[in-house]
């Protein structure tokens, strides 16, 4: 799905962006991004203004209940068919440009959409995993989500067409989708690991699941290697991202937060800007001086 070109910053936002530029100038920046960055790519936010309430699948629910796994994979099959076509937006490209110019110590993203990598960023920690892979919970093997899509289509011929016709209500950032036809969901055939017959799960962190230790350590290293922290498009509702903001603030590093709506890190922010993320990052990428 094509990315949306952001509008130019308003006069009010422009004044705040100039203060942010002056604060960040001369410092390497640790960039933490959330779902608010990908909304211009057509991927909805979990908690942004105007977002409908959602009840994401928890890890405990997924592993203990076969019916929940069936419902999830049926909806994910529909969601994947739409979200895999998402393209990086100007905010993703701005982040890649900032990295190319040596302004970033790295990118920590809470998103699983891999759009930072598609835009050209290299030093990226996919904190919550990636939705282009699946993992077997029994043997640990990983597989391409593209490959699984073909398997699921073979197991469930015509399902995508029927699900879309029955009413695709809403997408979610983790490629989940709301499908109204319960009878259709209950007929969905779930794929198993081709190596051991075990349970397959998307290779990203569910609610109630811990972020792998190595990703946490790599993220702390990015923050420690920076002179400032910039949060773009995250409400910081979950501790997985908020801890890095607290870590930077504890070390006396400036923290800038750009997000639509309040965040749990606002009390740690040196500057907080309630504005669009793509246009803000695009402006900063063009205006920040070289180190």
Does the pLDDT of residue 239 top 60, yes or no? yes
Residue range 183-199, pLDDT digits in tens: 888 999 999 999 999 99
The reported pLDDT for the residue numbered 54 is 57
CA 84 to chain centre: 13
- Of 180, 118, 16, nearest to 109 (Cα)? 118
With bands split at pLDDT 50, 70 and 90, how would you rate the model's confidence at 236? very high
The reported pLDDT for the residue numbered 11 is 87
Q: Which of 77, 92, 128, 247 is catalytic?
A: 128
Does the pLDDT of residue 156 top 60, yes or no? yes
The reported pLDDT for the residue numbered 1 is 55
Q: Which domains does the chain have, with CATH numbers?
A: 1-43+88-128+211-291 (3.40.50.1220), 55-85+132-204 (3.30.1600)
Does the pLDDT of residue 136 top 80, yes or no? yes
Provide, rounded to the nearest whole percent, the portion of the chain with pLDDT above 70.
89
What is the C-alpha to C-alpha distance for residues 147 and 189, in angstroms, rounded to an integer?
A: 16
Beta bridge partners of 142: 135
- Of 201, 175, 205, nearest to 86 (Cα)? 175
With bands split at pLDDT 50, 70 and 90, how would you rate the model's confidence at 282? very high
Does the pLDDT of residue 177 top 80, yes or no? no
Does the pLDDT of residue 53 top 90, yes or no? no
Catalytic residue flag (residue 128): yes
Beta carbons of 95 and 115 less than 8 angstroms apart? no
Does the pLDDT of residue 175 top 90, yes or no? no
What is the C-alpha to C-alpha distance for residues 167 and 180, in angstroms, rounded to an integer?
A: 6
With bands split at pLDDT 50, 70 and 90, how would you rate the model's confidence at 51? very low
Does the pLDDT of residue 211 top 90, yes or no? yes
Residue 153 in tokens = 């289509």
With bands split at pLDDT 50, 70 and 90, how would you rate the model's confidence at 168? low
The reported pLDDT for the residue numbered 84 is 81
Does the pLDDT of residue 4 top 90, yes or no? no
Provide, rounded to the nearest whole percent, the portion of the chain with pLDDT above 90.
75
Q: Rg of the chain over CA atoms, in angstroms? A: 20
3-state secondary structure 230-283: EEECCCCCCHHHHHHHHHHHHCCCCEEEECCCCCCCHHHCCEEECCCHHHHHHH
The reported pLDDT for the residue numbered 163 is 81
Does the pLDDT of residue 52 top 90, yes or no? no
Residue range 57-79, pLDDT digits in tens: 899 999 999 999 999 999 889 88
């Amino acid at each position: 799905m094509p990315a949306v070109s952001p509008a130019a910053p308003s006069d009010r936002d422009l004044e705040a962006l100039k203060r942010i530029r002056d604060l960040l100038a001369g410092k390497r920046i640790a960039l933490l991004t959330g779902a608010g960055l990908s909304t211009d790519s057509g991927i909805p936010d979990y908690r942004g203004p105007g977002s409908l309430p959602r009840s994401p699948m928890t890890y405990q629910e997924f592993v203990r209940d076969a019916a929940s796994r069936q419902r999830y994979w049926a909806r994910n099959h529909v969601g994947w068919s739409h979200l895999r076509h998402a393209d990086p937006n100007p905010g993703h490209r701005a982040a890649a440009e900032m990295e190319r110019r040596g302004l970033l110590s790295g990118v920590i993203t809470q998103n699983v959409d891999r759009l930072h990598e598609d835009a050209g960023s290299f030093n990226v920690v996919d904190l919550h995993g990636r939705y282009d892979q699946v993992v077997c919970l029994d043997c640990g093997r990983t597989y391409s989500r593209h490959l699984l899509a073909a398997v699921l289509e073979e197991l469930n011929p015509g399902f995508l067409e029927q699900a879309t016709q029955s009413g695709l209500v809403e997408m979610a950032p983790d490629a989940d989708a709301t499908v109204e036809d319960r009878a259709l969901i209950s007929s969905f055939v779930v794929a198993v690991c081709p190596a051991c017959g075990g349970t397959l799960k998307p290779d990203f962190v569910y609610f109630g699941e811990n972020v792998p230790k190595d990703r946490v350590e790599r993220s702390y290293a990015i923050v420690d290697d920076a002179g400032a922290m910039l949060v773009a498009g995250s409400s910081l509702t979950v501790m997985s991202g908020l801890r890095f903001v607290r870590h930077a603030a504890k070390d006396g590093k400036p923290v800038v937060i750009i997000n639509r709506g309040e965040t749990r890190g606002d009390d740690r922010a040196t500057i907080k800007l309630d504005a669009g993320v793509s246009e803000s990052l695009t402006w900063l990428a063009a205006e920040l001086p070289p180190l």
